[in-house]
Amino acid sequence: MKNKPLSWIPSLYLGESLPFAAVMLMSLVLYQEMGLTDTQITLYTGWLGLPWVIKPLWSPIVDGIKTKRWWILAMQLLIGASLALLAFTLPTDLWLQCSLALFMLIAFSSATHDICADGFYILALDNKDQELYVGLRNTFYRIGMVLGQGGLVMLAGLLQAEHLSIFNSRFSFGFSVPLSWSITFMVVAGLMLMLAAYHWRALPKPLSDSPEGKKLSVFAEFVLTLKVFFSKPHLLTALLFILLFRLPEGLLTKIVPLFLKRTVEEGGLALTDVQYGFVYGTLGVIGLLGGGIVGGWLVSKYGLKRMLWPLVLAITLPDIVYVWLSFTQTQSLPLIASCVFIEQVGYGLGFTAYTLYLVGFSHGERSTSVFSFCTAFQYLGGVMLPGMVSGWMSDQMGYSQFFVAVMGFCLVTFAVTALVKLPKE
């Protein structure tokens, strides 16, 4: 039983997405409700993305010490313990300093877990099974995202509700913001610790899962990969494409949740946690996943070269829904949900083309290591750096003008797409 892929792949990728959701998505809502400005929130949480940018630096170290199975179990235990400690510190006077330190520890642990989980997937399955179960692993990763920024954010909101009716029964919680989030993060901690306990029995022990004991030093491995990466053809246009293609989405990623949650007087849409968790954390993620599936089908049928520009338009033009929402500040939940869903479907469509370009660019010598460099660069230029300045921009400009500016930055996406040289199909 325990060696069957269906017994461990879903839970392994659920455990990969939950800590990412806690650090990069749930933290936005937490800090907004704790009273921080957009500038503070995006700057602080932007730095929390650093481990995913630099994880190629310590990947060889992880490969050379202990097994990937050992690292998975250790990181899940560490993440669970850190989340529990985070829950205890939120009601204290040092909540900000402690939460940032613990979130960073969780981020480094989660990035290490990503390295080992993806490597373990390759070691524990043959090529046929890797292809067979890739859809399953991606689906459960997205389920973890829905649970994190959807269900768990809704839980925090329900705990703050003074009057709640469920199945004709009335409940009264009215917990404070710190206490409600403490309970929520304790739930996440419990889930991670249960996953660690389950994986101790469920994960197989493939013979190939052993420390690699490479003869080359970590530095030599890093230099070799850099040499291959920077010897790729059309490197300059490729780097511009990798770094800047997601610029508009990178600006939106951290501001949209804050915009949806801020009061009408602050220029936002004043969604409750429950409404936000349903609209952005659930419907939005479903739209993103659906867009990715459709985008993959379109590229497989018509080819990346033919579909590139339609998918580029799909990832950029729907951003205009936030311009409309910010100017009208509609209170219609169906309209807000529809706009978010449309934009996220477009994001999923366009991101498919972007990912397939990275795969094609990485093809060849040391393809796995080169792809890790590509993902690091795309996260740096497309998520981390734009996200860090987006809060300052929105505070200075207001949400309406900020979203108009984002539409202007779509021209950057068009420019780098026009310049890039596509790899062979």
Give me the DSSP letters along 203-257: S---TT-S----SS-HHHHHHHHHHHHTTSTTHHHHHHHHHHTTHHHHHHHHHHH
Question: 221-419 — its CATH code?
Answer: 1.20.1250.20
**Predicted local confidence at residue 424, as pLDDT:** 65
Listed by start position, the domains of the chain span: 1-205, 221-419
Residue 96's pLDDT band, with cuts at 50, 70 and 90, is: very high
Q: How far apart are CA 415 and CA 247, in angstroms?
A: 12
Handedness of CA 18, 21, 24, 28 (dihedral sign): negative
The end-to-end CA distance of the chain, in Å, is: 40
CA distance 261 to 254: 12
Which architecture characterizes domain 1-205 according to CATH? Up-down Bundle (1.20)
Mean pLDDT of the chain: 88
At residue 205, does pLDDT exceed 90? no
Segment 354-375 mean pLDDT: 79
**pLDDT at 425 exceeding the cut of 70:** no
Cα distance between residue 382 and residue 390, in whole Å: 12
Is residue 257 within 8 A of residue 280, CB to CB? The reply is yes
Is residue 22 scored above 80 in pLDDT? yes
**pLDDT tens figures, 53-76:** 888 777 777 777 888 899 999 999
Asked whether this chain's domains 1-205 and 221-419 adopt the same fold, the reply is yes
CA–CA separation, 210 and 17 (whole Å): 25
Selected residue with higher pLDDT from 228 and 410: 410
pLDDT of res. 411: 96
What's residue 169's pLDDT?
Answer: 54
Whether the CA torsion 285, 288, 293, 296 is positive or negative: it is negative
Q: How confident is the model over 396-409, as a mean pLDDT? A: 96
Of the chain, the percentage scoring pLDDT greater than 70 comes to: 93
Q: What is the amino acid identity at position 7?
A: S
Amino acid present at 97: Q
C-alpha pair distances (Å), 293 with each of 63, 215, 361, 399 = 32, 41, 21, 31
Does 149 score more than 70 pLDDT? yes
